[in-house]
Structure 1
């Protein structure tokens, strides 16, 4: 699933999550909106950073010019960006570890337990860390059935190879990628309209309060 779709879906679920937590304040930490939103894209952040770095190095080395101006296949083998996705993603231990730091269900379950334990002990930031991990876990659970051979490592760091091989890929046309992309973006559009309607009135009230405050000061 696209990173932005994870954030849109998580944003749409903040209200029911808050209702659940507020209904049982002794069992669940208070919902932290910022933690949920950051956690919604956190699993993808390591790979995004590695991709940006690889592209920058490829631009600096002139590899992209070779690919663009040369014959078919020219420069592809020396492209760090291509090697990142075709080779390092599956074989380089540093890339595997960095990518699965917030993508592994095992590690995320551990983060959830740590956050929950800190909150139960009244330690500051425990609730924030819990909801950060919860959003990242939700991200990962959505990703697992949408990758054919490049999904999260299910038991990392206990196992560095095992992935769920889904018949559906969010990006690969050979595995319903086009159909999924159409559904995903229609879902995004519907949720964005829902969010716009939900926050429209509070936003207007906030702007009205700001204008009244400025008039009072003036």
Structure 2
């Protein structure tokens, strides 16, 4: 899934009105599994000035990048953090771990040939799904509109749940970003 969709889904599942720390933790947890890609990609593209084809066709699949992705996309790791939050009765920790866990569980069935080792440290196995959220040759033309519709429905729900205009604005911006990214994937891939 696209990162804006993960933030919307994470907020929909774990954000709580009147609980700023929990809501912030939900948004952060939804972002963390993708954050390393943004940092590594930005460094390679803008600082090292490596061409995008090299970054996304070679570096993305390199052992060093995949080791990092294995950690921040680990179902056992995020599951343990979520359970720890539940056991310690720390809603913000639960929201952080839960939103990150939701992120990787939603990514698992939507990556065809660009998946990550979601079961680190137990296994380096990578599931190769028959469908993709971005590759039209792997049914993105079906997945992407469904993802967009689900995000629209969740943003309507979040607008009803939260009366904070800054949060409503954030959810609206995330929805617009999601729709723009979907358009890019479908037009170019």
TM-score for both structures, normalised by structure 1: 0.64
Uncovered stretches (5+) of structure 1, i.e. residues with no partner: 19-30, 64-78, 121-125, 204-218
Structure 2 residue 62 is the aligned partner of structure 1 residue 91 = yes
The match for 1:3 is: 3
Secondary structure at the counterpart of residue 55 of structure 2 = helix
Matches within 5 A, 1:1-218: 1-14=1-14, 32-59=22-49, 79=51, 81-92=52-63, 94-116=64-86, 119=88, 127-160=91-124, 162-200=125-163
Larger radius of gyration: 1
Deviation at 1:113, TM superposition (A): 4.3
Q: Any unmatched runs of 5+ in structure 2?
A: 166-189
**Distance in 2 between the 1:46 and 1:32 partners?**
22
The answer on whether the counterparts of 2:110 and 2:132 sit within 8 Å (CA) in structure 1 is: yes
- In 2, Cα distance between equivalents of 1:191 and 1:116: 24
Q: 1:195 Cα deviation (Å)? A: 2.0
- Classify the secondary structure of the residue corresponding to 1:84: helix
CA distance in 2, matches of 1:14, 1:84: 33
Separation of aligned partners in 2, 1:141 and 1:189: 20
In the comparison of the two structures, how many residue pairs are matched? 162
| 8 Å Cα contact 2:132-2:138 kept in structure 1 | yes
The TM-score with structure 2 as length reference comes to 0.73
